Amino acid sequence: MSNNILAALVIMGLVYLTARWLSNRVKPDYCESCDGKGYWESTRGERNDCDLCQGTGVMPKEMRRKRK
C-alpha cells in the first residue's frame, strides 16, 4: 500500500518537472532576470529598467546563446 503512494508521489514529481521544463521551452524569450517584466523593483520600491533585456522583458537571442 505504501509502495503505491510512493510511486504516485514519484510520478507526480516527474509530471511536475516535465511541465516546468515544457513551459520553459514554450516561453524561451522571457528575460530570466526580470521574469519578462522589463524592470526590477529596488528595496525602496523604485522601478529600474532591467540591464539584461534593457527594459523590454525579452531576452535577446544572442544573449541567450552566450549564457548557455
How is residue 63 written as a grid cell?
Answer: 544573449
Query: Does residue 60 contact residue 53 with C-beta atoms inside 8 Å?
Result: yes
What would the x/- binding string for Zn ion be over residues 18 to 57, using CB under 5 A? Answer: -------------x-xx---------------x-xx----
Q: Least distance (Å) from Zn ion to the CB of residue 60?
A: 10
Is the CB of 18 or the CB of 29 nearer to Zn ion?
29
Enter the DSSP assignment of 44. Answer: T
Q: What angle do CA 23, 28, 34 make, to 5 degrees?
A: 95
Binding residues vs Zn ion (CB under 5 A) = 31, 33-34, 50, 52-53
